Chains A and B, each alone.
Chain A
């Protein structure tokens, strides 16, 4: 199978746009709300999910013919949990500050509906290369939404844009003091979880508008 024919392209691009796991299927919302306070957290979380989802899809797809259907959930969970543990340990070793900020939410990738969902719906039925592309597309779709949400939450809620680095984050741009002196104020609501719901709702609205998806009334 060619890696870059139109079918493979569709496997990658569909979950990013017209079948986005967050904005169309509304999966993985809990972590999307929890890790979007700052842009750097969202970026690291995206990388972690890309790694876990791609690897778990490939591994499960490779062993799909040996898994008895009755115990497949247990096997899926043990593969995913091992991969998440690897990511968690890696973060603790090399990005300790980030690992502390993300706290339990890295561990909670295990319970992210997107990962189990893709394993069940796609990886167990397709070959490893397709499963890899599907994992890539879905994790990028997830990452795209949480990066957009966290960008607006951080910019308007805390007044900064932070990129990840080895330590506590590199502040790329922050709202200058002169704005505050002129009467500008951060929107405190956006730092709280209801703010994440509101921004996520608006993003879903706009994304569906562009993707041209209409839900049945």
Chain B
């Protein structure tokens, strides 16, 4: 370690203030704090002594994401083997999948690092580890066959527009990973619109994702019957839980996402209130729509000429299909862009659940609505917080008056 320390001390002299290389200080600082803890001390108060610094928080989120990566890679291989009608075994499938996941990961990190470093140098702020989490989340929301240059553009957009123009980590309004997902959704709809199967298969291989089946049925039926009638993939409730279905890389296996959720809650990083309340919002709204469908079965809520089959999806199926769980566990709970008060978190999460179902069910053009719901609620989080705080002030004034 002494050897490493010496390297950093020597190179550190080169980037001191006033030296010709001083513009590179943020780069040096970032590399230095990866290996050694900083020797900078806060000169003004308030001082908070806590071993939970931003680096550790971000690192724990990345740990929680690793199982999703491994399973995502296995799933790509599994679906490919299914489409090609070959046997490859678990290890073979996983390795095959990683040949698709790793390039996406590299494209994301290269784009993220370029943007982050450029802004750190121009704006003279320190390189912030927040971009590591954003960049770790982005590939998990991508389809496996996405072109790498699109990933590059999408990531740059998310980091710059979603984060840097607001002043960097801690001052952003929108979740950067979701910003880039939303950008790619609208910019390159042929690749990422969510209604075609995202499996790496032979040319012309396609089919419907779980969400697209009730969104565009050939003939009206309840969602459960439509799932059962699909012979291409196994859309049974149990299999949708295990995640051997087409979808974005990281969102299919619900068990691993739940494990990640427990890990994050146990470490005190993510807010359980947001997760619980968003599931409550989803259950409430989907039950409401089930009831609506029951009351108006032949007619009012129509889509494409016959009753809207999206209204017949049960709450459990809504939780299992699409990226709802992934979004609510890893995206909605992001500490910067979510609500900061506990009451506010209940409202924020509940409305995410409500909006997800509304976008999914009422508008068949957008089969998946969770990322839009989270972005909309990101926008309203400061407003919710403001009114929660105001209500608290009023309550206390009334109590003490």
- Determine whether A187 belongs to the interface, using a CB cutoff of 8 Å to chain B: yes
Contact A183-B147, Cβ < 8 Å, known A189-B183, A198-B161: yes
Contacts of A190 in B (CB 8 A): 187
- Contact mask for chain B residues 183-196; partner A; CB cutoff 8 A; 1 contact, 0 none: 10011111100000
Contacts of B188 in A (CB 8 A): 185, 187-188
- Contact mask for chain B residues 170-208; partner A; CB cutoff 8 A; 1 contact, 0 none: 000000000000010011111100000000000000000
Interchain nearest-CB distance for B13 vs A (Å):
32
Interchain nearest-CB distance for A196 vs B (Å):
13
Contact A185-B150, Cβ < 8 Å, known A198-B161, A205-B165: yes
Contacts of B149 in A (CB 8 A): 183
Interface size class of A (residues with CB under 8 A): 10 to 19
A:163-217 near B, CB below 8 Å: 183, 185, 187-190, 192, 194, 198, 205
Interface size on B, residues (CB 8 A): 13
Contact of A189 with B186 in the complex, beta carbons under 8 Å: yes
Which of A188, A189, A192, A205: most chain B CB closer than 10 A?
A189
Contact of B161 with A188 in the complex, beta carbons under 8 Å: no
Contacts of A185 in B (CB 8 A): 147, 150, 188, 190-191
Interchain nearest-CB distance for A155 vs B (Å):
14
Contacts of A187 in B (CB 8 A): 153, 187-188
Contacts of A192 in B (CB 8 A): 186
- Interface of B: prevailing SS: helix
Contact of A189 with B161 in the complex, beta carbons under 8 Å: no
Interchain nearest-CB distance for A216 vs B (Å):
16
Contact of A188 with B165 in the complex, beta carbons under 8 Å: no
Residues of B within 8 A of A (CB): 147, 149-150, 153, 161, 165, 183, 186-191
Contact of A188 with B147 in the complex, beta carbons under 8 Å: no
Contact of B187 with A189 in the complex, beta carbons under 8 Å: yes
Q: Complex formed: what's the CA distance from A192 to B182 in Å?
A: 14
- Contact mask for chain A residues 148-170; partner B; CB cutoff 8 A; 1 contact, 0 none: 00000000000000000000000
Contacts of B147 in A (CB 8 A): 183, 185
Interchain nearest-CB distance for A199 vs B (Å):
11
22 contacts between A and B (CB under 8 A): A183-B147, A183-B149, A185-B147, A185-B150, A185-B188, A185-B190, A185-B191, A187-B153, A187-B187, A187-B188, A188-B186, A188-B187, A188-B188, A188-B189, A189-B183, A189-B186, A189-B187, A190-B187, A192-B186, A194-B186, A198-B161, A205-B165
Contacts of A198 in B (CB 8 A): 161
Nearest CB in chain A to that of B147: its residue: A183
Nearest CB in chain B to that of A198: its residue: B161
The list of the 9 closest CB pairs from A to B, nearest first, reads A189-B187, A189-B186, A187-B187, A183-B147, A185-B188, A188-B189, A188-B187, A185-B190, A188-B186
Q: Complex formed: what's the CA distance from A205 to B149 in Å?
A: 25
Q: Complex formed: what's the CA distance from A183 to B190 in Å?
A: 12
Q: Complex formed: what's the CA distance from A185 to B150 in Å?
A: 9
Contacts of B161 in A (CB 8 A): 198
Nearest CB in chain B to that of A184: its residue: B149
Contacts of B165 in A (CB 8 A): 205
Nearest CB in chain A to that of B153: its residue: A187
Q: Complex formed: what's the CA distance from A108 to B189 in Å?
A: 32
- Contact mask for chain A residues 55-75; partner B; CB cutoff 8 A; 1 contact, 0 none: 000000000000000000000
Interchain nearest-CB distance for A60 vs B (Å):
40
Q: Complex formed: what's the CA distance from A185 to B188 in Å?
A: 7
Nearest CB in chain B to that of A202: its residue: B161
Interchain nearest-CB distance for B32 vs A (Å):
30
Interchain nearest-CB distance for B282 vs A (Å):
27
Nearest CB in chain A to that of B161: its residue: A198
Contacts of A189 in B (CB 8 A): 183, 186-187
New contact pairs (11) apart from A185-B188, A194-B186, CB-CB < 8 Å: A183-B147, A185-B147, A185-B190, A187-B153, A187-B187, A188-B188, A188-B189, A189-B183, A189-B186, A190-B187, A198-B161
Contacts of B183 in A (CB 8 A): 189
Contacts of B150 in A (CB 8 A): 185
Q: Complex formed: what's the CA distance from A189 to B153 in Å?
A: 13
